[in-house]
Structure 1
């Protein structure tokens, strides 16, 4: 430092442990203002330049963009608050980048470890998938399946429970399940609505909101049995399930209705819907039963109840 309390560019670089080129770069970007120029036109820096340069290098060491560093330096009066926000933002960006890398790693492992004859098909499936995958196609598929004009609260609760969230660190099997789920959801083939009148009931009596409110209660009652892998059987969950279907059609739960309902549910079973629930379970990789598994259990309980009543 000279007698006037300023640094030359070389002195400043040496004190900061960096290069003259780096100091010049930050100066030209306006991050490191000059205090003056020498008689020969060389840059001179004030006493505070060393601390400012060290701060710039620390911020860049966190991989913060130059523009973000400039915004932080402009807020020296509230640097702590601004730095906290910048670090939080950078952590979110890194989290997203790491999730993308983990999905790519799992995809590569899936391709590496699969049988050679399946590799081309799996590559096609994975190639159509974002990393991590968007859940929008799955949500659109469900909206096509659900009856129209369901209350928004019901649609939202069904979406929250039924659409699996992509994990940050997927297993290769989950990547495959999400890829197959995406392929099913984006297939041009249509899906059926579950809201149809049971045979011999008047048209126009289908009230899907009543059905789905009742099914939510029935599924909650059946969930402990499904988790415990108990055999389908009658009880409160089945009674609630049948009552929901009866209320939807403005009729009563009777032995005859149960017979017709069981037959109807067998007739309208849809392979694409069954496949959808199977894939959502594989994608979520959780012990929690899907709506599809709960519905299957209750249908089987109904069929058993009807068969026992016929004896």
Structure 2
């Protein structure tokens, strides 16, 4: 049997620490001396060392209690606690990297621009949320669009913040956040006319087909191929034809080309998205916006060839 002082000395801890763990029920005393002093059994040293090791890993006391009470030889309580702490640390590290990128942006910008940059970056959480971007698209997409179709489009349209952002990526995401949270100017309708015309019934067909066409076009973009007719363009036209309950004919392709038009706000969105998705020094990553540009150019080339 050891006294509290002897146990503390053997473990390299303070008496106050041993008393605290005892009071928390993590290190039960075996008995009390005739004078009322705590006495600890032969396994107390090993348990105290385990507790201190777990605290070094920054595990909270409730988790340590579960580990000490775990009778599973496989140590599932310890595994679960470590996995949980690793997830927490991952989130904390990501937040720190975003703060670092934000600080670098403020440090490196001209003094006259620092106030504006601080306001821009101050609107972001760290790490930033994609919720404002998703809300932007929910406003843009046709009303009453089926949930699954909406989710599929949001998956490709909303860029995920990188875990280790370069300052340029952090700035682009902050600009995306500012753009998507700004009110729509004037009386302008959020949806383009070509999408509103499809109606709620055609929305699911349209966007499901567009996602497929964008994926096909992205393959050509990665290979730096010029826009041209083919499978990707056929899928693109078919998406609109299905939405409008029409057939893919030369006349329909000419009509579609006339109705499609670029949107400066969306062009800016996709430009910033490409920056967010592209690591520094890497090749620009295809986005639905760049894929749409490629497909519209392919449509124009196809119509010119058929004229």
Normalised by the length of structure 1, the TM-score is 0.88
Which residue of 2 is the match for residue 121 of structure 1? Answer: 116
- For residue 149 of structure 1, report the CA deviation from its aligned partner: 2.8
* In 2, Cα distance between equivalents of 1:120 and 1:206: 47
Distance 1:221 1:88, change over 3 A: closer
Which residue of 1 is the match for residue 59 of structure 2? Answer: 64
Other structure's SS at 1:133 match: coil
Moved more, 25-34 or 233-242: 233-242
Moved more, 70-79 or 270-279: 70-79
Long gaps (5+) in structure 2: none
Distance 1:48 1:235, change over 3 A: closer
1:249 aligns with 2:248: no
* In 1, Cα distance between equivalents of 2:199 and 2:74: 65
- For residue 39 of structure 1, report the CA deviation from its aligned partner: 2.0
1:229 aligns with 2:228: no
Give 4+ residue runs of structure 1 displaced > 6 Å after superposition: 203-206
- Asked if 2 retains the 8 angstrom alpha-carbon contact of 1:99 and 1:168, the reply is yes
- Asked if 2 retains the 8 angstrom alpha-carbon contact of 1:73 and 1:79, the reply is no
- Asked if 1 retains the 8 angstrom alpha-carbon contact of 2:143 and 2:200, the reply is no
- For residue 309 of structure 1, report the CA deviation from its aligned partner: 4.0
Q: Deviations over 1:127-156 (max 9, x none)?
A: 100111111111111111111233332222
Which residue of 1 is the match for residue 195 of structure 2? Answer: 195
Long gaps (5+) in structure 1: 1-5, 198-202
- Asked if 1 retains the 8 angstrom alpha-carbon contact of 2:270 and 2:290, the reply is yes
1:301 aligns with 2:298: yes
Distance 1:205 1:81, change over 3 A: closer
Which residue of 2 is the match for residue 184 of structure 1? Answer: 179
* In 1, Cα distance between equivalents of 2:201 and 2:51: 67
* In 1, Cα distance between equivalents of 2:213 and 2:250: 19
Normalised by the length of structure 2, the TM-score is 0.89
Distance 1:67 1:260, change over 3 A: same
Which residue of 1 is the match for residue 275 of structure 2? Answer: 282
* In 2, Cα distance between equivalents of 1:16 and 1:223: 61
- Asked if 2 retains the 8 angstrom alpha-carbon contact of 1:75 and 1:82, the reply is yes
Which residue of 2 is the match for residue 200 of structure 1? Answer: none
- For residue 77 of structure 1, report the CA deviation from its aligned partner: 5.1
- Asked if 1 retains the 8 angstrom alpha-carbon contact of 2:106 and 2:114, the reply is yes
Alignment size in residue pairs: 298
1:291 aligns with 2:288: yes
Alignment counterpart, residue 262 of structure 1, candidates 254, 257, 265: 257
- RMSD over aligned Cα atoms: 2.2
Distance 1:80 1:239, change over 3 A: closer
- For residue 58 of structure 1, report the CA deviation from its aligned partner: 1.3
Which residue of 2 is the match for residue 51 of structure 1? Answer: 46
Other structure's SS at 2:75 match: helix
Greater gyration radius: 1
